[in-house]
Amino acid sequence: MIYRQEDRFMKIKKVIALMLAASMVAAVAGCAKVKKITGADFIAACEKMGAQEVEYDDASADVDEDAIEDGIYCVLDSDDIEEIYEQYGSSSSSMMYGISAPDVDSIIEADDIEEATVFAKVDQNMEDIDDIEDIADLNVNAVIGVQLTLTDAGMVEQIMEGLADNLDEYDIDVEDLGSDEYYVGKNEGYLKIHVSVEDFLAAFAESETYGYIEDMGMDLEDAMDLTGDICIATYINGENVVVVIGASVNNSAEYLDEFCGYLGIPSPSKLGSNTMVAEAICETIDNTIGAMLGAFASYDAYDY
């Protein structure tokens, strides 16, 4: 069974730390000139989304599925941020499989952040997915957001260069992105990416990893007709950084679009889908998970 009942609950610190980490290693967003969004502006948008504030220090509290469906946000001070960096900055379960996250510390260090606010609102039906055949019925509408108030307003160029370097690790050159996807000004910038689920699945169907999975006898046909959007956006104006991540499966990017509306920024879901990024993601999967599956397949095929 893919979904286990005990997985529905996570400790609040882990939830908040993962939201912050996921958003900070992401990158994207945009408009002709980047709007300045303060922590107060961000909190106001969270509350318009119906989100309730949770306390980071309340380590005993569990954030259950209903709370995240309604929306939660948390304000982190410098001590909280330092703790997150120490506990999660250099570790990731994905590293066991040879997948390393971009080097966040090379872009923004804990000492560079004065305050942060993280937000999440997720509606999904994973509890109904018992096996691969059920994936066709998956329904997801999710948005994650982070606002960072930096200690120095002069870090825009450094951050944008760091994001570009991280994308380069996946063979994505920012020079190949459109002007509505990547922009750096004197004291502002953005990087935004939108990939449709259809384009991602089309690229995945051509990948070595997909072939290995088929060779293992797993039928993914029902999962290849999914629709939706994957969007990541980062906006920087002086000391203010805002990151939004949106995901929808068999659904529209409703939560992402609504949240961006309250923030007063254009939603990255309105961009055209970037097939180059979809292909780059699948190539990375081939070089990591695919390589591992290929090794397993070779081992199984060995005739003793």
Determine the distance from the C-alpha atom of residue 49 to the mean position of all C-alpha atoms in its chain, rounded to a whole number.
19
Tokens in use for 5? 């009942």
- Tally the domains of the chain: 1
Q: How far apart are CA 89 and CA 295, in angstroms?
A: 30
Q: State residue 21's pLDDT score.
A: 64
Residue 84 phi, psi (nearest 5): -65, -45
pLDDT in tens, the chain (304 residues): 444 444 544 556 666 666 666 665 554 333 337 899 999 999 999 999 999 999 887 644 566 677 888 999 999 999 999 888 887 654 333 332 233 334 444 578 889 999 999 999 999 988 887 777 778 888 999 999 999 999 999 999 999 999 998 888 888 999 999 999 999 998 999 999 999 999 999 999 998 888 888 777 777 777 788 999 999 999 999 999 999 999 999 999 999 999 999 999 999 999 999 999 999 989 988 887 755 665 555 545 444 3
3-state SS assignment for residue 28: coil
Residue 254 phi, psi (nearest 5): -60, -50
Instruction: Name the residue with tokens 């004065």.
Output: 114
3-state SS assignment for residue 140: strand
Q: State residue 271's pLDDT score.
A: 95
- DSSP letters for 52-109: EE--TT-TT-EE-HHHHHH-EEEEE-HHHHHHHHHHHTT--GGGGGT-----GGGT--
pLDDT tens readout for residues 132-176: 777 888 899 999 999 999 999 999 999 999 999 888 888 899 999
Q: State residue 49's pLDDT score.
A: 97
Half-sphere exposure of 144 (CA within 13 A, CB side): 20
Q: Using alpha carbons only, what angle is made at residue 116 by residues 194 and 29, rounded to the nearest 5 degrees?
A: 20
Contact assessment for residue 177 and residue 233, using Cβ atoms and an 8 Å cutoff: no
End-to-end CA distance of the chain: 33
Q: How far apart are CA 146 and CA 24, in angstroms?
A: 8
- Per the document, the length of the chain is 304
Q: State residue 252's pLDDT score.
A: 92
State the residue range of the domain holding 35: 5-301
